[in-house]
Amino acid sequence: MQLRESNIRQLTEQTFDTLVIGAGINGASAAAALSGKGSSVALIDRGDFAGSTSMHSSNLVWGGIKYMESGDFKLVRKLCKSRNHLIRSYPSTVQEIRFLTTIDKGFRHHPLYPWAGTWLYWLMGSAFTRMPHFLRPGAIKARESIIDTSNAQGGFEYSDAYLHDNDARFVFSFVRNALDFGAMVANYVESLGSRREGDVWVTQVRDGIDGRTFEIRSRVLINAAGPWVDEHNRLTQQPTDHHHVFSKGIHLIVPRLTPNKRVLAFFADDGRLFFVIPMGRRTCIGTTDTRVDSPDVSVTEDDIRFVLDNINKRLELDSPLTSEDIISTRCGVRPLAVKPSGGNDRDFLNLSRKHAIDIDPNSYHLSIFGGKLTDCLNVGEEVVAEVRQLGIDMPYPEHRWYGEPDEAVREDFMHQASRMGLDSMTHPDASEPLSTRLWRRYGRQALELLEDIRLDPEQAQVLIEGTEYLRCELKLARRSEMVTKLDDFLRRRSKVSLVVSEATLHASPGLMEACRILFDDQAEQRLAEYWQSRQALPRGEAAEEAG
């Protein structure tokens, strides 16, 4: 925790150009963009990085094909361009994947109608991905034998993209970039409200670990608190044009249903898109779309029943999925940006995830509403433009603040990995070679892992059974990823608690060793706190391992 403690000390020692409150995808990308352009930035979150909406996504990076039906073509075009940009910028992490969609008899459209829509979608995406194909029921069955085609009219296959690892890990890559660019970043630091004193914002904050309070001073204040943007604006008495309404979504993680690397898409009983998404040796299924009044949500028995009923109706499995098959769950809210005069009366299911940035130029205050992973680079660039308009200097306006390291760095890593025989150390049950996996997760920092393994080959051993995380990865997490609580690593820097059942994790002898690497003499305390927090969760999250 040395990095966190050092940063907290420095948060009080200067007046920053910008303080960003909230380290989900909006706040993380804003902080990375601003600091990459040379602005002085502080970034805080009252929980862990990506600790809310940004860790409960479908792991999809898509152009919003569902918005085609509502005619929001401008948004679709923008999201498709963003998706393409992410694929080019993060080739190891954001990858094209095929979506196989089955249309049942009695659906509101003949399959040829949405198939034609996929061609328009493909063209709006600059024909960047593979072409769509129309499929008759027999062709669907040939591609994916587990689909029940007895009631199918037909279907189609088209391309979008997905995150190879988990969403929270992707968000942290922006936090890590911000740190590398000199931003002062700290998790578990809660804003208690901000006030304007002359030309400076003074934000009172509390350290969630030891309870200390202190102040952070900044010229600009950015409210990127995700679902809690409205709440923080009330603390600062900041009026805005937009506000949030909330949709709860859940996913269930189950044992792998098919070895094929494609997303299976259906229309659920309520008419909304429903997915079966590959997750290594697991499968993610969902989601729900339930309007709620608060961002504090949990999985209910009705949620689980809805997902299981819909998937069992559409797949031919050896035996139907039951709650006993659930390894973990994801449950969060989508914050949807609306204006008082134009959102509450609309069809709730048709509200889009587009973001909105409200600016008060008189008080130098920005509020970021809505948004999604696909749009993160746009958010960062738009925030930079707005902050520059407020008169904040950007010494390096052309600097590229996102993306994987240059190809030369990757070639150097792969060459060194090959010379030391890294891939021969890959665990027999692993889903991919070690060199591929370590580069995707850590980029330039993966070179540090090679050095650790050269000095001690045991650093290449899997530490927690049933996962794909090595001893050296734990050491890197301790050094540079600000792991403050055990759940930060198990659920957000990694996806261990998503893919390993709670019972298996509890019995793992490697878990205590992981705690010792991360927390030294606090290992037993952090482990006890973790299990205590699991018991305090509602049934759906405690029993099924939601993050």
Tell me, letter by letter, the H, E, C secondary structure of 185-223: EECCEEEEEEEEECCEEEEEEEECCCCCEEEEEEEEEEE
Task: Please tell me the total number of residues recorded for the chain in this structure.
Answer: 547
477/488 Cα distance (integer angstroms): 10
Amino acid 537: pLDDT: 58
Nearest to 152 by CA among 135, 134, 137: 137
Amino acid 50: pLDDT: 97
Confirm whether pTM is higher than 0.85. yes
Write out the E strands in 311-381. 328-338, 356-360, 365-369
The pLDDT profile of the chain, 547 residues, written as one tens digit per residue, is 689 999 999 999 999 999 999 999 999 999 999 999 999 999 999 999 999 999 999 999 988 888 888 888 999 999 999 999 999 999 999 999 999 999 999 888 888 999 999 999 999 999 999 999 999 999 999 999 999 999 999 999 999 999 988 999 999 999 999 999 999 999 999 999 999 999 999 999 999 999 999 999 999 999 999 999 999 999 999 999 999 999 999 999 999 999 999 999 998 888 788 899 999 889 999 988 889 999 999 999 999 999 999 999 999 999 999 999 999 999 999 999 998 765 444 455 556 778 999 999 999 999 999 988 999 999 999 999 999 999 999 999 999 999 999 999 999 999 999 999 999 999 888 889 999 999 999 999 999 999 999 999 999 999 888 788 999 999 999 999 999 999 999 999 999 999 999 999 999 989 999 999 999 999 999 999 999 988 765 544 433 332 2
Q: Which residue has the tokens 């580069």?
A: 439
Amino acid 541: pLDDT: 44
- DSSP calls for 287-325: ---EEESSS-----HHHHHHHHHHHHHHB--SS---GGG
Nearest to 514 by CA among 485, 547, 545, 534: 485
For the chain, state the CA radius of gyration: 23
| Topology (CATH level 3) of domain 1-54+167-242+352-390 | FAD/NAD(P)-binding domain (3.50.50)
264 bridge partner residues: 100, 276
Amino acid 70: pLDDT: 80
Fold: same for 1-54+167-242+352-390 and 73-163+245-349: no
Q: Residue 530: what residue type?
A: Y
Amino acid 338: pLDDT: 93
357 bridge partner residues: 368
| Both tokens assigned to 309 | 């009923």
Q: Which residue has the tokens 């040395």?
A: 2
Nearest to 336 by CA among 287, 289, 370, 367: 370
| Topology (CATH level 3) of domain 73-163+245-349 | D-Amino Acid Oxidase; Chain A, domain 2 (3.30.9)
Pairing of strands 328-338, 243-255: antiparallel
Q: Which residue has the tokens 């600097």?
A: 399
392/396 Cα distance (integer angstroms): 12
Q: Could you give the maximum distance between any two Cα atoms of the chain, in Å? A: 70
Are residues 321 and 337 in contact, defined by beta-carbon separation less than 8 angstroms?
no
Amino acid 348: pLDDT: 53
- What letter would DSSP give residue 470? B
Are residues 297 and 282 in contact, defined by beta-carbon separation less than 8 angstroms?
no
Residue 465, SS3 per DSSP: coil
Structural domain boundaries of the chain?
Answer: 1-54+167-242+352-390, 73-163+245-349, 409-536
Are residues 82 and 64 in contact, defined by beta-carbon separation less than 8 angstroms?
no
| Measured CA angle at 129 (ends 254, 352), to 5 deg | 65
Residue 96, SS3 per DSSP: strand
Burial 374-399 (b: 16+ CB within 10 A, else e): bbbbbbbbbbbebbeebebebeeeee
